[in-house]
Structure 1
Amino acid sequence: MTKNNDYVSLSLKEYWAKPQLIIFCAGNTKKSLMEGIEKEKLRLFEKVDHFEKTLMKKRYENIKSTKEYKKMIKTRFDMSLNMPRSFNISMNTDSFICFTKEIESGYMGIALYTTTYKDTSQFNTKNIISTRDRFLGKHIQGEFDNTPMITEKKVSTIDKSFYLDSSFAKVTRGLWRLSNEYMGGPFINQTIYNKRSGQLIHIDGFIYAPGKAKKKYLKEIETILSGIKI
């Protein structure tokens, strides 16, 4: 709880449902409420982030994977990841694997591919997007010719650098679309440096669900990616 003469905030867990986090903020005036939220917004964001990460960890532990998927990912990419058995292998080449799952009115996919690490400039967002477009554009197409999957450039991407098991990594979020087509949706890309192999591992989750809320599908992809171990 945070409290002063003009503002108070209170967080509660599992108050009406489970799992649930509720944050109440109140102020004597609209101004004091807005000022109070502004002062502690970082703490509030961290509280929500911690709650969601804890929830994702619990959900990941309950993922039912297959030995075939685990072995394939470990052998090909030198990392550990539980890929749910609800996903099917839709494409498998020497340099690219894509798992897909049918959802209401569409599908969700997780693609994995690697590139040779050369220097830190490869973690530049522009280069990550360029690599993404090169691989996904080559392997994922629409029904017609010349409709490769590309990143939507009219919308800014959001990225964040972090360390995964002491390996430098970067997550990039944005929108994808099919060139010359009216199909698209959100994506989450993780690019990770694997010190042992000298490779960059690229994991790309994407969703196509026209007219449907995407949040629950994004959370599912985030949960899967949260279990990556290098």
Structure 2
Amino acid sequence: MKRHLSMLLLCAWTVSLLVSCGKGRKGLLTSVSTGRPYEVLVVAETNFWDRPAGKALYRVLDTDVPGLPQSERSFRLMRTSPDGFDATLRLVRNIIVVEVDAAKYSQAAFRYAKDVYASPQVILTLQAPDEVSLAAFVEAHGASLVRFLTQVEMNRSIRALSEEHNMYVSAAVQRLFGGDIWLPAELVASKEGTGFFWAGTNAATDDRNFVMYSYPYAGGEALTKAGFVCKRDSVMKVNIPGARPGMYMATDSLMTDVRLLQLRGRQVMEVRGLWYMKGDFMGGPFVAHVWVDEARRRVVVAEVFVYAPGRLKRDLMRGMEASLYTWRLSGETENEIINHKE
């Protein structure tokens, strides 16, 4: 299988020489991987977890998912020793192998391989000559490690969407905004407004939603937190009303964070935060991508949000967030792998 050396966030690492990837063995007889999305198996000596390097790795992998209303871990962790890493565990979809060997390694690094024992699968090897350098490496690059594993799973969702997605939503987005985006087929309800489109599942629980809107570009404030919140609140007030008059969707500006990305050669502002229904008790997380379409002198916003009271939201949000990376203007080539620079 072709190796993507720039896969995900690796292109953002200034220590790229410390990272390498190996070839997998995917073929006709490759087994199907086991486990659920965002499960990670760590292969390390049993007493590794009691020492500083093990504690550093645990702190990194046990971090909370950003932008959710309650604490949810980034991954579900499983552990095994090298002796226990048997044929059954080798089929797990996400594996981290810890190797500390002064005879083999001169510096701390990680390398990864895809589809070694099963497919889809990624095996990430953390290697170091000693645990002191391993702990320092993990602490320095922990955030990138989390994003790497997160986006491996998102890439799997994107590939699944490439095979089956909501054709009605794609057609509506093409007609209204001149581009394409892949959303789950379960989003069966929809609504159109002036420069606005919404699609959702209308489910009583685990409700998933997508909105897209555009407006004339009037300056750099579009790619700021304040500019986004102001425009979002005005658009949602008109287009996402509540059950009774006076109710409408609004943004919790104190719980909103932004960062800039480079996607397909364009600057994109990622916005992650919480929404609430003014005058009601509804609310939940959202993620939006905002960019300037300079050719059309417009700002385009694509957003996903969920409503799942009393339930975990990590997998719902990450599954929907993957759709945001599938947007492309008419004429742009498809890109099924998240590959961006911060």
TM-score range, shorter chain: 0.7 to 0.9
**Equivalent of 1:196 in 275, 292, 295:** 295
Letter in 2 for 1:186: P
**Equivalent of 2:258 in 125, 146, 159:** 159
**Equivalent of 1:208 in 299, 303, 307:** 307
**1:172 partnered with 2:246:** no
Distance 1:86 1:67 in 2: 11
> Mapping of 1:35-184 within 5 angstroms?
37=135, 40-63=138-161, 64-103=164-203, 105-153=205-253, 155-184=254-283
Unaligned runs of 5+ in 2: 1-17, 19-50, 62-78, 80-84, 101-130, 330-342
CA offsets 1:9-50 (integer angstroms, 9 cap, x no match) = 699999576322447799xxxxxx999756633422212212
Q: Give secondary structure in 1 for the equivalent of 2:255.
A: coil
Distance 2:189 2:266 in 1: 27
Per the alignment, do residues 182 and 163 of structure 1 end up closer, same or farther by CA in structure 2, a change over 3 Å counting? same
**Paired residues of 1:89 and 1:97 also in contact (CA < 8 A):** no
Superposed CA RMSD in Å reads 3.2
Distance 1:19 1:106 in 2: 25
Give 1:125 deviation, angstroms: 0.4
Letter in 2 for 1:19: R
**Paired residues of 1:65 and 1:82 also in contact (CA < 8 A):** yes
Distance 1:175 1:55 in 2: 23
CA offsets 1:169-188 (integer angstroms, 9 cap, x no match) = 10111111111111111111
Distance 2:189 2:52 in 1: 56
**Paired residues of 2:189 and 2:201 also in contact (CA < 8 A):** no
**Paired residues of 2:187 and 2:201 also in contact (CA < 8 A):** yes
Give 1:191 deviation, angstroms: 0.6
Unaligned runs of 5+ in 1: 27-32
Per the alignment, do residues 35 and 179 of structure 1 end up closer, same or farther by CA in structure 2, a change over 3 Å counting? farther
Distance 2:211 2:52 in 1: 50
Out of 88-97 and 112-121, give the one that drifted further.
88-97
Per the alignment, do residues 43 and 180 of structure 1 end up closer, same or farther by CA in structure 2, a change over 3 Å counting? same
Letter in 2 for 1:96: F
Letter in 2 for 1:57: N
Out of 168-177 and 8-17, give the one that drifted further.
8-17
**Paired residues of 1:91 and 1:98 also in contact (CA < 8 A):** yes
Per the alignment, do residues 40 and 113 of structure 1 end up closer, same or farther by CA in structure 2, a change over 3 Å counting? same
Distance 1:35 1:181 in 2: 52
Letter in 1 for 2:156: K
Q: Give secondary structure in 2 for the equivalent of 1:84.
A: coil
Out of 48-57 and 139-148, give the one that drifted further.
48-57
Larger Rg: 2
**Paired residues of 2:205 and 2:308 also in contact (CA < 8 A):** yes
